[in-house]
Structure 1
Amino acid sequence: MAERKLMAGHAVRRLRRTQGLSQVAMAEMLTISPSYLNLVERNQRPVTATLLVRLAETFGFDARALAASEPGGGAEAMRRRLADPMFADLEIDRTELGEWLAAAPGGAEAFARVFDRLGGRGAAAPGVDDPAALVRREIERWRNYFPDLDAGAETLADELRLGAGDLYGAVAERLRVKHSLSIRVLPVDVMPDVLRRLDLHARQLQLSEVLDPAARTFAVAFQLAQIEARGEIDALARGADFTDRTAERLFRRHLAAYWAAALMMPYARFLRACEATGYDVELLERRFGAGYEQVAHRLTTLSRVGARGLPFFMIRIDRAGQASKRYAGASAAALVEAEGRCPLWALHHAFDRPGTGIAQLVEIKAGGAVQRYLTLSRTVVPQGRRLGTPEAMFAIGLGVEAALATSLAAARGIDLGARAVAIGPGCRACLRPDCAQRSAAPAGRALAINDRERRATALTFIGD
């Protein structure tokens, strides 16, 4: 995929102002023209690799901070907020949004914080923010890509690979030799409700026998992350500046899991395998000894500057449609952030075909524009189920813009230019008219009652 241009005028402008420089003075220090710097700050020119080097050499600017510096999480995150029904009549297009972010990044960030604080859709949020929502917001701010964690895990993966082909064995040996932690696999009768436990008194990492090989490797890698990536995790947690202790702990757990996945699927090797296989998730599972959900999540993290993968999003739901995981990654994913989901999306049909992948071409209107995606849906079953206990099951939804999906293995035989299934972000946020599946009028729209006619949908609304 062609490398995307890096538009980061807001970050350059912020750096200039913190240095107390005029555009003329900063341009002179960077040996560029003031007019060019002005265009960069207004996001009318990209920040080139040469300019990044000059910024780093002149001001000690850390280019990795760009991923976390965009106001409101960037244009895609702002578009998702503006897709709320309360803004439907404003018809804010991409150009107008880009001008707003370039001209008033502080105002855009303020809007995003107020919108998130109110819980969206104009509804007041509970007295205390949901810790999971706070963590999701921080992950989105980084676009679910943490370069320091990825780099450290990749370096160690290369080191361990030289010593042994068995990653589980290599990590277990490292824990034993370097950190005095042994691995013990215990019968389910001894650990009936626990899959992983760290016993510091016995210096043991105890694993349940019900874990499959991929889950065991992930468990030992997660433990190693808590030890060897502690410095990087501490720095990211401090930078998030959570006031909620639960949110901070959830974020730390996410970061440790991120590092563990990066150790199992090192960035460069994983990206090469993705491109060689057409992002064939099941083949990637076997190649890297990972689970379907682990691979799906990893696909949302491929945002390294100069080596980006396709911008996948991911969501995990239960049979009731409740989302327990959602990662927008670098993708514009109105489907991920919506509180409701559309029953016309094949993600819900995955429960009828457990373990079978379903590809579907969908389109959704968000932020005044119609976006088309190729989505892949499949169920997964959590580790640890025992005979006689209720079976838990979740559906994983992966998606990527249809225009970028031509190389996907899952797209073979699918006409990506064909008519897509029109879906929405749940009835309360969807303004699509004449939907026979509609269960409620959009928020802020009154139902239209006409006793003299019966339309295809029993629920029509004023403005339909």
Structure 2
Amino acid sequence: MAERKIYAGHAVKRLRRTAGLTQVALADVLEISPSYLNLVEKNQRPLSAALMLRLAERFDFDPRKLGGDAPGGGVEGIRRRLADPLFVDIAIDKAEVEEWLAAAPAGVEAFARAFDRMGEGGAPSAASVEALPVMKVRREIERWRNHFPDLDAQAEAMADDLRIATGDLYGGLAERLRQKHQLAIRILPTDVMPDHVRRLDLHARQLQLSEMLDSASRTFHAAFLIAELEARAEIDALVHGAAFADRHAERLFRRHLTSYFAAAIMMPYERFLRACEASGYDPLLLQRRFGAGYEQVAHRLTTLQRVGARGLPFFMVRIDRAGQSSKRYTGASAAPMVEADSRCPLWAIHSAFDRPGEIAAQLVELEDGERWFTLNRTVAGQSAGLRAGQAIFSIALGLKADYARPLLHARGLDLDKGDAQPIGLGCVSCTRPTCAQRSAPPRGRALRFNERERGLTPFEFAAD
């Protein structure tokens, strides 16, 4: 797989200024010319592997911070904010945004935070419709590209111990809880736990699980408790490092990390990656081999970013029937569909509800010509019984078409020139003029009216 180019001039400039060095001095330390460093800082040259290694060696710098924390979400993040009607009379093109990022990354981040927090007239902006704690946690997860190597390493070692002791992971987890923590697992009927699927009763020394949980979910909840008990130090360190001022964000992030550890026990990194590569990243086969649920597998596929043993850069989005997203993981994909406030109705993540349980593969093309390959399928949410009802979600798992060739579901497709479904990032962000599915005009475009004609939609607009 071709290496992804990383443009992180803002991060290099911030590192240089923190160290109190001029461009000439840093270029000398890195054994490159000042002119080349200047191009790197202006994002006109990508960072080479050799340059990243020198930065890591000389400044004790974590290379994962390069490119993973662009101010305001980088060029696309700032352009989405500038598409707000507030700026309709200001023509700011992509090149100007790139120059702004290179010249004043801190100013860009300040603008992004202010815009997200407050809209016109002091009211919350569209970018802050989602609860602020959730957005803060998402930013921290994406800063790590949803890969936490210390948690993976510890979970992998624990999974190996359990595998040696017994071939039954659930049984091994139950025995570990009994012997090491004096906790038993008890399965309770729905009339006893009508509104919950899991409860920890410390008085009775029991992890109580609903009988409505399938085997994969029971294993996950047992592993989740193990993570709370035995990975506390590592999880505490990550939560402390995030430095959340918001207590709710801190607790949400802790829950994500605990779930991450539990999934890593069920799907240990090295074995899971080998199985992915051998099976063509077939999620159904991976489900059966690791005793996991489809959603658990999909999420795990977004985390495979171990240095020296990387998987394909997947993203994952989960929505309900109303199109509301409840999970969004960009991973290392940089997928604009994940960050978008809304989604295109032509994307098969929506039509998957019509064929529950089936995987619908779809090649899509964005307005900029970039192609993405996605797998779309419904999943059933956890249920505590008939009274609680059954939640249904649709999950899109995808990656750039350039990387999709090893996938089982992409075999036989012409990913470069074959038919692809044109989609946008939601109607208000899409400027395709002839889409019959359009339900709203794009932001920043003046509407045009001709009483003698009727186009495919009632929203005809100026080209620019």
Q: Given the two structures, how large is their TM-score scaled by the length of structure 2?
A: 0.88
Distance 1:431 1:79 in 2: 14
Contact 1:85 1:431 in 2 (8 A): no
- Give the match for residue 461 of structure 1: 461
1:61 corresponds to: 61
Any gaps of 5 or more consecutive residues in structure 2?
none
2:396 corresponds to: 397
Q: CA deviation at 1:429?
A: 2.2
Is the 8 Å Cα contact of residues 117 and 129 (structure 1) preserved in structure 2? no
Query: Residue type matched to 2:143 in 1?
Result: R
Shift of 1:83: 6.9
Q: Is the 8 A contact 2:441 2:459 kept in 1?
A: yes
The equivalent residue for 1:166 is 168
Corresponding position of 2:307? 305
Deviates more, 1:172-181 or 1:349-358: 172-181
Cα distance in 2 for partners of 1:218, 1:419 equals 40
Asked if the contact 1:377–1:396 (Cα under 8 Å) also holds between the matched residues in 2, the reply is yes
Match of 1:202 among 201, 204, 221: 204
Q: CA offset at residue 101 of structure 1?
A: 3.9
Q: Could you tell me the percent identity over the aligned residues?
A: 66
Tell me the TM-score normalised to structure 1 length. Answer: 0.88
The answer to whether the 8 Å contact 1:301/1:329 transfers is: yes
Q: Closer, same or farther in 2 for the Cα pair 1:79/1:2, shift >3 Å?
A: farther
| C-alpha deviation, 1:33, in angstroms | 5.9
Inter-CA distance 194–372: structure 2 relative to 1 (3 Å threshold): same
Q: Map 1:23-422; keep pairs closer than 5 Å.
A: 23-26=23-26, 38=38, 41-43=41-43, 55-66=55-66, 69-74=69-74, 77=77, 92-93=93-94, 100-118=100-118, 124-125=124-125, 129-365=131-367, 369-384=368-383, 386-387=385-386, 390-416=389-415, 417-422=417-422
- What SS does the corresponding residue of 1:407 show, helix, strand or coil? coil
Q: Residues 57 and 419 of structure 1: is their aligned pair in 2 closer, same or farther, counting only changes over 3 Å? A: closer
**SS, match of residue 328 in structure 2:** strand
1:298-344 CA-to-partner distances (Å, cap 9, x unmatched) read 11112223322222111111111111111111123222222222221
CA distance in 1, matches of 2:401, 2:157: 34
| Residues 83 and 443, structure 2, Cα contact 8 Å, conserved in 1 | no
Find the aligned partners of 1:119 and 1:167 in 2 and give their Cα distance.
50
The alpha-carbon deviation at position 41 of structure 1 amounts to: 4.4
Question: 2: distance between equivalents of 1:4 and 1:96?
Answer: 24
| Paired AA for residue 206 in structure 1 | Q
Partners of 2:149 and 2:85 lie apart in 1 by: 35
Provide closer, same or farther for how the CA distance between residues 415 and 64 of structure 1 changes in structure 2, counting only shifts above 3 A: closer
- CA 1:460–1:5 in structure 2 vs 1: closer, same or farther (change >3 Å)? closer
1:344-365 per-position Cα deviation (integer Å, ceiling 9, x unaligned) = 1111111111101111111122
| Residues 330, 64 of structure 1: alpha-carbon distance in 2 compared, 3 angstrom cutoff | closer
Ranked by relative contact order (alpha carbons within 8 Å, sequence separation 6 or more), the top structure is 1
Counterpart amino acid of residue 236 in structure 2: D
What letter is aligned with 2:375? L
Letter in 2 for 1:297: H
Q: After superposing the two structures, state which structure 1 stretch, 254-263 or 162-171, moved more.
A: 162-171
CA contact under 8 A between 1:355 and 1:379: conserved in structure 2? yes
Deviation of residue 30 (structure 1)? 5.5
Superposed CA offset, 1:270-310 (max 9, x none): 22221211111111111111100011111111222332222
Task: Report if the CA contact (8 A) 1:3-1:307 is conserved.
Answer: no
- Quick one: structure 1 residues 91 and 67, their matched pair in 2 at CA, closer, same or farther if it must change by over 3 Å? closer
What secondary structure is seen at the aligned counterpart in 2 of 1:205?
Answer: strand
Aligned to 1:450: 450
Task: Tell me how large the CA RMSD over aligned residues is.
Answer: 3.1
SS of aligned partner of 1:445? coil
Structure 2 CA distance for aligned equivalents of residues 371 and 28 of structure 1: 38
Query: Aligned equivalents of 1:165 and 1:85: distance in 2?
Result: 59
Answer with 411-420 or 127-136: which moved more. 127-136
CA 11–341 in structure 1, closer or farther in 2 if over 3 Å, else same: closer
List per-residue Cα deviations over 1:370-415 (Å, max 9, x = no partner): 3211111111011225346633211111121112211211112333
Between stretches 182-191 and 210-219, larger displacement belongs to: 182-191
Q: Which amino acid aligns with 2:457?
A: T
Are 1:436 and 1:458, in contact at CA under 8 Å, matched by a contact in 2?
no
Query: CA offset at residue 232 of structure 1?
Result: 2.3
Shift, 1:191, TM fit: 1.2
Q: Deviations over 1:207-264 (max 9, x none)?
A: 1111111101110111111122222222222232323222221111111111111221
CA distance in 2, matches of 1:189, 1:210: 11
> Hey, what's the Cα distance between the residues in 2 that align with 1:412 and 1:149?
34
In 1, the alpha carbon distance for the partners of 2:237 and 2:60 equals 18
How far apart are the structure 2 equivalents of 1:298 and 1:167? Answer: 18
Name stretches of at least 5 consecutive residues in structure 1 with no aligned partner.
none
- Amino acid in the other structure paired with 2:324: Q
Q: Alpha carbons of 1:176 and 1:64: their partners in 2 closer, same or farther (altered >3 Å)? A: farther
Deviation at 1:46, TM superposition (A): 5.5
Alignment-mate amino acid for residue 11 of structure 1: A
Deviates more, 1:399-408 or 1:444-453: 444-453
Residue 450 (structure 1) shift: 1.9
User: AA paired with 2:238?
Assistant: L
Once residues 135 and 283 of structure 2 are traced to their aligned partners in structure 1, the CA distance between those partners, rounded to angstroms, is 28
Distance 1:346 1:6, change over 3 A: closer
Count of residue pairs brought into register by the alignment: 459
* Other structure's SS at 2:274 match: helix
User: Residues 123 and 218 of structure 1: is their aligned pair in 2 closer, same or farther, counting only changes over 3 Å?
Assistant: same
User: What letter corresponds to residue 422 of structure 2 in structure 1?
Assistant: A
Contact 2:382 2:391 in 1 (8 A): no
SS in 2 for 1:354: coil
Kindly provide the CA deviation profile for residues 148-206 of structure 1, in whole angstroms up to 9, marking residues without a partner as x: 22222223223332322222222222222222222112222211211111112222211
- Is 1:3 the counterpart of 2:38 in the alignment? no
Q: Is the 8 A contact 2:84 2:444 kept in 1?
A: no
Residue in structure 1 matched with residue 436 of structure 2 by the alignment: 436
